A and B are shown apart, each in its own frame.
Chain A
């Protein structure tokens, strides 16, 4: 195998996963009327669900032995364990501890997925992009405003 020099090119591996889950957008910090006004039908009492698509982007220098930024089988296993096993066919608002204290919006879901995947050892997590439906998508790159989370 010939060594693969760095040409100043950035290579980012993208992989898409799917899961189905329910949630309810509702916060105890607002009154029932305010919840209904802010979240509309998304705050209906018994929740609703989506087919989510999670797109993860990892950067790195391809391994000279394998030509890969990350071994896909290892990545799939990691995402399965850290995200899909907990989220798929579950209620995000109830079954995912993080959403007992924050609303399970897809913005917050991006942050939660990022937090769960940033420890993947083989490559650097660049961004998480989640499609809540075919019409709504959200991205998070791990950047937070100075002073921490809002």
Chain B
């Protein structure tokens, strides 16, 4: 098995706020992430696909296909958008790194045509990130 990883960056805004909680609770739990008009990050997403290289092309998955998939599913949906308002898959969810990573996983996994989605890492900042993978699969 060989893995290949593609990295993309997108810039997006968000706000942590749960309408089921009081304003005081929201502020206590989410702190400055609850600030009323939101804030933003430069997100970095690393997507790792695992598989056997094709005997003819030598590729696990054509990088161009992966690039187009990430552009269609992630960049167009999230780059320079507000994750609370502009991404239907996140509707009703707090757009934490955990929830964004899960949505990205669900968007990408069924659309990988060669190999399989092995691992994604979503960085909200260099100091904070989430790894997402199938339970039981080896960590990338």
> A-side interface residues toward B, CB under 8 Å?
1-2, 4, 7-17, 57, 62, 65-69, 71-73
Contacts of A65 in B (CB 8 A): 18, 20-21, 29
**Whole-angstrom distance from the CB of A7 to the nearest CB of chain B?**
7
Give the A-B contact count at a CB cut-off of 8 A: 81
Given A9-B102, A11-B102, A67-B130 contact (CB < 8 Å): no
Q: Report which of B29, B94, B95, B134 forms a contact with A9, defined as CB distance below 8 A.
A: B134
> B-side interface residues toward A, CB under 8 Å?
16, 18, 20-21, 29-31, 92-99, 101-102, 105-106, 121, 126-135
A14 lies within 8 A of B102 (CB): no
**Whole-angstrom distance from the CB of B110 to the nearest CB of chain A?**
12
Q: Report which of B99, B105, B106, B128 forms a contact with A15, defined as CB distance below 8 A.
A: B128
Contacts of A7 in B (CB 8 A): 102, 106
Given A1-B18, A57-B131, A67-B105 contact (CB < 8 Å): no
**Whole-angstrom distance from the CB of B108 to the nearest CB of chain A?**
12
Given A1-B92, A67-B96, A67-B99, A9-B130 contact (CB < 8 Å): no
A12 lies within 8 A of B94 (CB): no
Identity of the chain A residue whose Cβ is nearest the Cβ of B95 in the assembled complex: A67
B102 lies within 8 A of A10 (CB): no
Q: Report which of B21, B96, B129, B133 forms a contact with A10, defined as CB distance below 8 A.
A: B133
Given A1-B92, A68-B96, A11-B132 contact (CB < 8 Å): yes
Contacts of B101 in A (CB 8 A): 11
Identity of the chain B residue whose Cβ is nearest the Cβ of A8 in the assembled complex: B135
Give complex CA distance A17, B132 in Å.
21
Give complex CA distance A66, B31 in Å.
12
Give complex CA distance A10, B18 in Å.
24
Give complex CA distance A106, B47 in Å.
30
B130 lies within 8 A of A12 (CB): yes
B132 lies within 8 A of A10 (CB): yes
Give complex CA distance A73, B30 in Å.
8
B92 lies within 8 A of A73 (CB): no
Known: A9-B134, A57-B131, A65-B29; 13 extra A-B contacts, CB below 8 A, are A8-B134, A9-B102, A10-B132, A10-B133, A10-B134, A10-B135, A13-B97, A62-B98, A66-B94, A66-B96, A67-B93, A68-B96, A73-B31
**Whole-angstrom distance from the CB of B103 to the nearest CB of chain A?**
11
A1 lies within 8 A of B93 (CB): yes
**Whole-angstrom distance from the CB of A145 to the nearest CB of chain B?**
20
**Whole-angstrom distance from the CB of B125 to the nearest CB of chain A?**
9
